[in-house]
Structure 1
Amino acid sequence: MEKDSITPGDKVSAIILAGGSGKRMQSEIPKQYMRLGEHPILYYSLKAFDNSSIDEITLVINENDREYLIEKLLKTYTFQKPVHLAPGGEERYLSVYNGLQVCRNSDYVLVHDGARPFISVEIIEETIKNTKEYKACAVGVPVKDTIKIIDTNGTIKETPDRSKVWAIQTPQAFQTSLIINAYEQLLADLNQETGGGPLAVTDDAMVLECTSRYPIKIIMGSYSNIKITTPEDIRVGEALLKGLKEEFL
């Protein structure tokens, strides 16, 4: 595949998904606002992107949390990059699409889960670099466990080659026009086939897989780049926070 030349003046945006709830956390506070160490979970990823070379940040939020986010995060901490807000959708892919509407004038966009607080500036910069070359990238790590494919009865059907299996993380990054076109094709197909019902799309790479099948470059992530979803993850996150560099404090 031919690589694009890197243009220093390209505009790069970040979309951080922050519209989750506290259901699996058994918390009345949405998980992204729960404390991890001295700060809300969402603070860490927001700060990492603010310290990177991206030009702007769009937070996709639950509209019911708008005032809370502004008071507890945007007014409490100082961020150098412009931070925009976009409403979340009923499904993850609809939330991303809403965020993409804010970033239409960008050349490249990185999509990140706000529940992954330990993303590093180094990985963000490597993602940007590779996206400018390959147009579509996803961060991930090789799996350490043996993976089994099972059927609906819980019976093992096959064991994929572990050397070819990666756990995909975020950010996932794309040339903006490429991912917007893919999303619009996906939504058009969805409306035509299911009348707009929900689709089992769990990440942005799947959108390209389902539409253009454009090749997606995998970038080495970090085993510390965990997604905090359950109370057990909070305890793991607290332990990671103590052992990681001061950039996360």
Structure 2
Amino acid sequence: MKTPESKQYLMLGDKPILAHTLERFQAMACVDAIVLVVGAGDVARGEAYVSRYGLTKVAAVTAGGAERQASVREGLRALPEGTAWVAVHDGVRPFIGEALVRRCLQEARQTGAAVLAVPVKDTIKVADSNGVIQSTPDRRSLWAIQTPQAFRLDLLRDAHERAVRDGFTGTDDSMLVERLGVDVRIAEGAYTNIKITTPEDLLWAETIATRYGGEGLT
């Protein structure tokens, strides 16, 4: 993001990106509890957000690990007793709607695991280390993966435990579950469910927020 502040704490309109994301889940009838995973030095700030924005569904604010995978593991440990299903979401995707979350959960109930994704619009090339194109995959089979990713909790915990034992690091949680031989289903997402990672993304986010505000996002 090229800013001294972490991207999730940058302002989008009148509040931080992370606060927008948390408020979305706070308002969802299908969400019973939220666990917020932050950097070790940001727990107090996370707890302040919970108080300031009335986030009554936040059951815990916990420190994450050195990388994303370890942070998710810490979040799973902090879930309330009796939790059966979990959705893992990026804090910098503030335009998620309840219909998308329900769609992902519905697909997850088929096999125990599902991800939100959108069809790839661009032609994709596979290149070698020298920048020479090696192949062109069929675009019709390609999907850009989003979050949330929804899982039966015992399945995701098992996937994380096996990854630790095997010394395996995946790029997302579905990759860990795929290693177990479990079918991970795709639920079609929305192109507005963007992940704010670069300065250009923040400009796009401001456009979405201005165009839709709190309404109209699926």
* Smaller-chain TM-score bracket: over 0.9
State the match for 1:113 in structure 2.
90
State the match for 2:185 in structure 1.
217
State the match for 1:155 in structure 2.
132
- Partner amino acid for 2:115? A
Cα distance in 1 between the residues matched to 2:41 and 2:102: 33
Give yes or no for contact 1:113–1:170 (8 Å, CA) kept in 2. Answer: yes
How far 1:245 sits from its partner (Å)? Answer: 4.5
Tell me which moved more, 116-125 or 101-110: 101-110
- Partner amino acid for 1:89? G
Where in structure 2 are the equivalents of 1:63-212 lying within 5 Å?
63-71=40-48, 73-103=49-79, 105-190=82-167, 199-209=168-178, 211-212=179-180
State the match for 2:24 in structure 1.
48
User: What do residues 129-151 of structure 1 show as CA deviations (whole Å, max 9, x unaligned)?
Assistant: 22233310000000000001111
Tell me which moved more, 145-154 or 199-208: 199-208
How far 1:247 sits from its partner (Å)? Answer: 4.0
Identity over aligned pairs, percent: 39
How far 1:123 sits from its partner (Å)? Answer: 0.6
Give yes or no for contact 2:159–2:177 (8 Å, CA) kept in 1. Answer: yes
Cα distance in 2 between the residues matched to 1:76 and 1:34: 16
TM-score, normalised by the number of residues in structure 1: 0.82
Cα distance in 2 between the residues matched to 1:237 and 1:222: 14
Cα distance in 1 between the residues matched to 2:149 and 2:160: 14
- Partner amino acid for 2:14? E
User: What do residues 191-232 of structure 1 show as CA deviations (whole Å, max 9, x unaligned)?
Assistant: xxxxxxxx55111111012x3120001001000011101111
Where in structure 2 are the equivalents of 1:224-243 lying within 5 Å?
224-243=192-211
Cα distance in 2 between the residues matched to 1:44 and 1:134: 31
TM-score, normalised by the number of residues in structure 2: 0.93
Give the root-mean-square deviation of aligned CA atoms: 1.7
Cα distance in 2 between the residues matched to 1:234 and 1:228: 6
The total of aligned residue pairs comes to: 215
Tell me which moved more, 169-178 or 49-58: 49-58
- Partner amino acid for 1:135? G
User: What do residues 1-41 of structure 1 show as CA deviations (whole Å, max 9, x unaligned)?
Assistant: xxxxxxxxxxxxxxxxxxxxxxxx22222111110111210
Report SS of the residue matched to 2:186: strand
Cα distance in 1 between the residues matched to 2:135 and 2:22: 40
Cα distance in 2 between the residues matched to 1:201 and 1:169: 15
State the match for 1:61 in structure 2.
38
Give yes or no for contact 1:31–1:115 (8 Å, CA) kept in 2. Answer: yes
User: What do residues 69-124 of structure 1 show as CA deviations (whole Å, max 9, x unaligned)?
Assistant: 223x2221112313311211111111111111122641110000001111111111
How far 1:188 sits from its partner (Å)? Answer: 0.3
- Partner amino acid for 1:107? A
In structure 2, runs of 5+ residues without a counterpart are none
Runs of 4+ aligned residues of structure 1 deviating over 3 Å after TM superposition are none
